[in-house]
Amino acid sequence: MTSHNRGHMKSYQTIQKCCAALLSSLFLFAGSAFAQAVDQSTPDGLIKTVVSDVMASVKSDPEIQKGNIPRIVDLVDKKIVPYTDMRRTTEMAMGPIWKKATPEQQAQLVSEFKNLLIRTYSGALSQLRDQTIQYKPLRAAPDDKEVVVKTVVIGRGDPIPLDYRLEKTANGWKVYDMNIMGVWLVEAYRNQFANQISQNGVDGLVKFLQDRNKQLAAAKPAN
Amino acid sequence: MQWLVKLKRLALLGLVAGMVGCASIPAGVEPSPHDPWEPFNRSVFEFNEGLDAYVLKPVVAGYRFVLPEFIRDGIYNFFSNYSDIYTALQNLLQGKPGDAFSDLMRVVVNTTFGLGGLIDMATPGGLPKHKEDWGQTFGVWGIPSGPYVVLPFFGPSSVRDTFGTAADLESDYLFGYVKDIGLRNSITGLRVVNARNTYYEAGDLLDGAAIDKYSFMRDAYIQRREYQINEGREDEEVLMPPYQNPYE
């Protein structure tokens, strides 16, 4: 091979690399454009888009199906958390004690509660396979600031009613409570939080949640 | 002879109640207005937890290990199809003839095309599954739930739902036609294992999610029963007033 040829080869490789970089950045761009395209203007539209996006991601990712927790947490952080208002969720679950907590405690509570919910439901997410989601007609007036979107998860076993409570914010609709098989998350946690606080104070609750999250992070996946 | 059987059941219940004794409420726990018998309930809860951890869960783990998923699904579908008959009856008693007819159609479709109930053909065919029991029917009739009760073996319940469960067991006599006692007992055992298997993963989830599992299960049970009883009503909107948020 002559040196001339080698030079050719090299420039060809450079062009190839350039093309690859360009292509992948295009894909990235398209990806972020799609992420922004989530329709947050109507509550049921938002739920439909997010749910189908998450289901498609789980189905196409064997690692998630195997129960790879960091991957699931990543998915939840990217595709679910942006459309939730965890601060409101935590606040509602805390009740009147919320106001007595310092801003630092509040921030800690929001983040630890969020982690607890992600950890406990990551197992359920990894179970998504051939389920279909049935959306019940939305019963809300156009100027409602709070609505409930009702769905049913149909798969093997009994159908699971899954409802979402959303609020209209300046940044579009946000989910702040969920009803699983007839149980609202916020309501289920009210006594849990209140009892822990009356035993050990707000700091006690923060510490409990931190410890539990560490414990769950250390546990090996169920499947 | 019938009363002898009943006496035996009663004695068993008494024995369990004696065994469990009374557990105390953890310090700082606010007593719930729905749960005046909390110390007793907590002790029965502990008994059930032990039973589950040392007997039921290991048996179900073995069941899952031995039987492939499609067989477990078949077993699940079989009992699910059987219980649809009761659901149809309950829906009729609750004044929901439309649902009752749909449930009956499910049984017909699944028993014939679904090979005796082993395959659920009705759900993909557009006949959704419902689940109704006597406790719910009593609730629809307007009977209040009364205090929360934890039953040995059966778990979370209420005074009303305890009568409901008793009525469920009484009206569940189709398998009584199976003459062979060994076979009948095997069917009952399989039903219990199948039922626990349905909650295999959910049980672990609960352990992680709850701060105090007893009160978490109690609060969830009370909410869930209300939801189940009210779901068929026209005025269900009333159930979901927008949250007040005075904590901002």
pLDDT of residue B239: 46
Picking from B123, B205, B208, the nearest residue to A154 by CB comes out as B123
Burial of B119 (C-beta count, 10 Å sphere; 0-12/13-18/19+):
middle
Q: What are phi and psi of B156, to 5 degrees?
A: -55, 135
Q: What is the mean pLDDT of residues B23-40?
A: 83
Predicted confidence at residue A79, as pLDDT, reads: 93
Tell which of A106, A127, A156 to mutate to test the B interface (max B CBs under 10 Å): A156
For chain B, the straight-line distance linking the first and the last C-alpha, in angstroms and rounded, comes to 65
Provide the 3-class DSSP secondary structure of residue B37.
coil
Q: Name the least confident of A194-198, B119-123, B187-191, B239-243.
A: B239-243
What gap in Å lies between CA A98 and CA A95, rounded to an integer? 6
Q: Is 50 exceeded by the pLDDT of residue B193?
A: yes
A220–B contact, CB cutoff 8 A: no
The C-alpha atoms of residue B221 and residue B148 are separated, in whole angstroms, by 9
Of A1-15, A126-140, B58-72, the poorest mean pLDDT is in A1-15
CA distances for B230 relative to A182, B140, B145, B236, B237, angstroms? 10, 7, 13, 6, 10
Residue A16 to chain B, least CA–CA distance (Å): 48
Shortest distance, CA B88 to any CA of chain A (angstroms): 16
Cβ contacts of B74 within 8 Å, gap of 6 or more: B118, B119
Which pLDDT does position A141 carry in this prediction?
83
pLDDT recorded at residue B93: 96
Calculate how close chain A gets to B17, using CA atoms only, in Å.
Answer: 27
Residue of chain B whose Cα is closest to the Cα of A189? B216
Could you give the CA distance from residue A199 to residue B100 in angstroms, rounded to a whole number?
49
- List the single residue in B with minimal CA-CA distance to A204: B211
Tokens at B68, concatenated: 């492939």
Question: What pLDDT score does B110 carry?
Answer: 96
Q: Which residues contact A116 (CB under 8 A, 6 or more apart)?
A: A209, A212, A213, A216, B208, B209
pLDDT tens for A82-120 read 999 999 999 999 999 999 999 999 999 999 999 999 888
Quickly state the pLDDT bin for B21 (edges 50, 70, 90).
Answer: low
In this prediction, residue A155 carries a pLDDT of: 81
What ipTM score was computed for the predicted complex, to two decimals? Answer: 0.80
B91-94: list long-range contacts, CB under 8 Å, 24+ apart: B91/B130, B91/B132, B93/B137, B94/B132, B94/B136, B94/B137, B94/B140, B94/B141, B94/B232
Residues in chain B: 248
Best interface-test mutation with B: which of A133, A192, A214 has the largest number of B CBs within 10 A?
A192
Asked whether the beta carbons of residue B210 and residue A181 sit closer than 8 angstroms, the reply is no
Answer whether B201 sits within 8 Å of A124, measured CB to CB. Answer: yes
Whether residue B171 contacts residue B134, with contact meaning beta carbons closer than 8 Å, is answered with yes
Longest dimension (CA), chain A: 83
